[in-house]
Amino acid sequence: MTLPVQFGEWLPDQPALGNPGVTRAHNVLPGSGPFYKPFPSAQRYAATSMASRPYAAISVVDNLRNAHVFGAAKTQLMTLDPATQNWSDLSRTGGYTTADIEGWRFCEAYGLVVGTNYSDNPQYIDATKGAKFADLTTLVKARYVTTLRDFILVGNTYDPFDGPVPYRVRWSAVGNPFSWDFSATTQADFQDILGGGPVQAVIGGEEGTILLKSQIVKMIYVGSPAIFEFKTIYQNKGCAIPQSVISADGKIFFFGEDGFYMLQNDQLTAIGKGKVDAWFKADANQSGFDRMTVSVDPINKVVIWLYASVDSFDLTPDHMLVFNYDTGTWSTAVSPVTFLFNSLSLPTTLAALDRYGSLEAVPASLDSTVWSGGRAFLAAMDDKGVVYSFSGAPMPAIIETGDMPTAQMLAAASTKPITGDRALIRSVSPKVHGQSSLTVQIAGKITPQDATNYGNGSPANFNGWCPLRSDARYHRLRLTLSGNWTQAMGVEIDAVATGTR
């Protein structure tokens, strides 16, 4: 008898026995349905370098509709030159003194790129014609920055009068990002938010969202004299890792004390509960959270967190956790890069591709979005500042089922009574689209507490079946994929009941 087994969602926090999904989905992307797609490998986009590891990056389109990429190192602010594909230093005279425990954040407003690192005065540059970054203001420093309506909003601040005020947000004059003196006329002001700990992130738009350590607050414009109304929408819920925050498609994603959350229309959803929260806490090296980065793949509708795992003793980010925000499903990937960001492609001519030496050495196909200016794509850097795009061949992928009670599955599918509690699996047929090189391994168990020991991998024969033999109560399957496959949906099992009396 043959049994169809569909690859469900990756649920590592659920027991392996009878897991309704899969127990491993590695180097894959969760698809728009019950299937997985390949995770492309990282290919070099710009063989350039920074003065240190990257601290932040932002992509913008200027007033003349030209795309720019700006980056931050420990002591420099730079732009990626479209002609040379090299980082070009745009730092103010004297550079910067970013503290080891701090980082850079960027936002865009009024054709300006604004950056802050808490150690130095907030910086700005005109994206269209600016030659160097310069001080936006000397009245306040901050850890976080965003654009809220017609204001520049900063959070977790320091100023010469009050010193560090981690629970404060402060904003510029309306329509004037250079004016920060408190004024009822210009509407520049501040607000201290008590009872929620330090500000961990500020998210702009038509309304502001402030994530504190244990509080979530909405910031709504009401005009003078109050200017903004502050409304607590969640108490005793907040953001534990500032580096985990990102917004996409009207949703805000972050990691709280007890797991991953999504905030949409003021409604908080625990997206990792019962799925990946416990797994992530066990896999992540908490000492490396300050090096976490998060980005969005706009094509595949996924959020990707890059972090240092417990295997990374030097705290270099090495693992990626992937969340499909359309389907609510997850997967993982190994990371050959150490920093993620969302980029806009810079315009590239065919003549400019000569720097790669030959067409065979060009890291992405000529119709890829990375070569047409202004197109959004998922980008990355290594610790030297070399820029990558995820446009290469699929990474070797692994999908594993849970421990399946195979005899019970046969009994449920059979029209004849089956009394045995064991089953013999004789072969497995993977259901995969595309040209792939694949093998299937099987692990049989008599009891759930037995060790999971996989046998040798079996490739598919000309009929699409992988010959295997395992007689046991419970079976777990591992599918290993490489090549140009496009979708992995599940497997079909050829099995017969055994163990009858």
Look up the pTM and report it.
0.92
Q: Which residue bears the tokens 């500032």?
A: 242
DSSP helix/strand/coil, 435:
strand
Token digits of residue 324? 């499909």
438 has pLDDT over 90? yes
DSSP helix/strand/coil, 352:
helix
Token digits of residue 227? 């200017």
On average, the pLDDT of the chain sits at: 92
State the pLDDT at residue 276. Answer: 98
Question: Which strands sit side by side in the sheet containing 134-135, from one edge to the other?
Answer: 105-109, 112-116, 123-126, 134-135
Count the Cβ atoms, other than its own, within 10 Å of residue 39: 26
- Cis ω for the linkage preceding 225 (within 30 of 0): yes
498, exposed or middle or buried, with CB in 10 Å at 0-12, 13-18, 19+? middle
Give the H/E segment covering residue 412. Answer: helix 406-413
Using an 8 Å Cβ cutoff, are 218 and 266 in contact? yes
Using an 8 Å Cβ cutoff, are 373 and 345 in contact? yes
Its sign, for the CA torsion 295, 296, 299, 301, is: positive
383: amino acid identity, one letter: D
366 has pLDDT over 70? no
Could you read off the pLDDT of 488-498 as tens digits, one per residue? Answer: 999 999 999 98
Token digits of residue 219? 């910031």
Distance, in Å, from the CA atom of 454 to the CA atom of 451, rounded to the nearest integer, reads: 10
Q: pLDDT band at residue 356, thresholds of 50, 70 and 90?
A: very low
- Nearest 10 degrees: CA dihedral of 95, 97, 98, 101? 160
Could you read off the pLDDT of 117-129 as tens digits, one per residue? Answer: 999 999 999 999 8
191 has pLDDT over 90? yes
Mean pLDDT score, 223-239: 95
110 has pLDDT over 80? yes
Q: Which is nearest to 36 in space by CA: 491, 437, 489?
A: 489
64 has pLDDT over 50? yes
Token digits of residue 16? 């392996």
Q: Is CATH 3.40.50 what the domain over 2-38+396-498 is classified as, yes or no?
A: no
Which residues are 401's β-sheet partners?
22
Q: pLDDT band at residue 82, thresholds of 50, 70 and 90?
A: confident
